[in-house]
Amino acid sequence: MSTKLNVNQLQDGLCTRRFGRSILFSREVDSTNKWAKELATYGASEGTVVIAETQTKGRGRLDREWISPTGGLWFSLILRPNLSPTETVKLTFVAGLAVTKVLREMFDLKTETKWPNDVLVNGRKICGVLAEMNTTGETVNFVVVGVGVNVNFDVENVFPEQLKKVATSLEKEVGRKVKLEKLFRALLERLENLYELFIKEGFNPILEEWKNYAGFLGCKVEVTGPTGKMSGVALDVDYEGALVLRLEDGTVKRVFVGDVSVRA
């Protein structure tokens, strides 16, 4: 099976109202999020998607590099929700949940969500989500939701040493290459579905389902944040998307930014 994206098949049988009705494709781009932000600034409508076969400067959270070889699914979706700036973080959960559910349904994988934006299989990261917004004061002009899924490549051959231990790909977990275009369409359909649920019914149904897949809840974790490391038990993720942590001295703290690693 070809690992190259077939641009002509991206919309074949796509069952969405708005998401992916307009798709822009490039073989190589610096970052699909950057591209989508430029398009959104020029007025691209909600649901517009940009997708690339490879990214030369893919970006992750906290401005980290996101390695994006051929064979992965790297795309960004433009949204124009009527939300306050602080609420846009919830879109990360919408997208993470969509990926978690689609990978479970299509490949029967025991995917898990990890706060705030990861999808894991067998404890290793298979997908990351990066939501970036553009605001004027308290008005959100647009949000770009970037989704990166490691699909048809072997992390052992592609990733640097430190990532090989913590990352995985669909090819590795399923034992074969998968059809990128089919996965892409399923993700867009589920994204639209859950986004509409979120807009109609609020964050609660999304969060409750996201927590059902959150294997780290109840575990001892280490959180690396902007001000250093903290250890404790991950008690909950709350209505604002904050991680609720019981520190070793018994105090309970809400954490808004950081990386979680589960301790043995």
Binding-site ranges for ligand BTN (CB under 6 A): 31-33, 55, 58-61, 64, 66, 68, 74-76, 117-118, 128-130, 146-148
User: Hey, what amino acid is at 228?
Assistant: G
Report helix, strand or coil for 116.
Answer: coil
Q: Which are the contacts of 26, defined by CB distance < 8 A and separation ≥ 6?
A: 35, 50, 51, 52, 53
**Residue whose CB is less far from ligand BTN, 172 or 246:** 172
Closest approach of ligand BTN to the CB of residue 114, in Å: 10
**Residue whose CB is less far from ligand BTN, 128 or 232:** 128
∠ CA 175-33-66, rounded to 5°: 45
Measured distance CA(245)–CA(220) in Å, rounded: 9
Burial (CB count within 10 angstroms: exposed 0-12, middle 13-18, buried 19+), residue 62: exposed
**Residue whose CB is less far from ligand BTN, 27 or 64:** 64
| Residue nearest to ligand BTN according to CB distances in the complex | 128
**Residue whose CB is less far from ligand BTN, 58 or 232:** 58
Closest approach of ligand BTN to the CB of residue 106, in Å: 19
Cβ count near 249 (within 10 Å): 6
**Residue whose CB is less far from ligand BTN, 61 or 90:** 61
Closest approach of ligand BTN to the CB of residue 35, in Å: 8
Q: In 3D, which of 211, 222, 209 has the Cα closest to residue 258?
A: 222
**Residue 227 in contact with residue 239, Cβ under 8 Å?**
no
**Residue whose CB is less far from ligand BTN, 61 or 124:** 61
Distance of CA 88 to the CA centre of its chain: 14
**Residue whose CB is less far from ligand BTN, 233 or 257:** 257
Closest approach of ligand BTN to the CB of residue 208, in Å: 23
Pairing of strands 252-255, 259-262: unpaired
**Residue 90 in contact with residue 145, Cβ under 8 Å?**
no
136 DSSP β-pair partners: 139
Closest approach of ligand BTN to the CB of residue 193, in Å: 20
**Residue 52 in contact with residue 46, Cβ under 8 Å?**
no
Closest approach of ligand BTN to the CB of residue 214, in Å: 16
Report helix, strand or coil for 184.
Answer: helix
Closest approach of ligand BTN to the CB of residue 146, in Å: 3
